[in-house]
Amino acid sequence: MRNNPKHITDLVDFVKIDKDYISCHFKCRIKNKTVVSTVSFEPYDGKIEISFMDMLLHPRESYNKYHHTTITIFAQESQKTIVVKAFKKVSNYFVWNQQKNRYIYN
């Protein structure tokens, strides 16, 4: 159950979305400690690939492909969310507590 995304989203205290990045504030309510993780604002797991010819021949479609892609900020049932990606960057600050069945600040 440790890898369940619900355990990560339970830590989310605040999410700030800017033009180029997302800041996720993870708070351990047991120790009252907060860790902030910042990740780039990218759709999917990586970047969208647009060829030079696509940009040249279809500029509007290329723009829409990049700027109008749905991005999942967080969801309790999905491993591929920006919050999970942000948590992985700061996961060394948290340890899994088997007794409490949750992550706690290390």
- Span 39-55, pLDDT tens digits: 987 654 545 565 667 66
Higher pLDDT, 59 or 31: 31
**Residue-range definition of the domain harbouring residue 23:** 5-105
Higher pLDDT, 96 or 48: 96
Which pLDDT does position 9 carry in this prediction?
Answer: 86
Q: What is the pTM of this model?
A: 0.68
What is the tally of structural domains in the chain? 1
Residue 103 pLDDT > 70: yes
Yes or no: say if 78 and 15 are a contact pair by the CB < 8 Å rule. Answer: no
Residue 83 pLDDT > 60: yes
Which pLDDT does position 49 carry in this prediction?
Answer: 60
CA angle 58, 61, 64 (to 5 degrees): 150
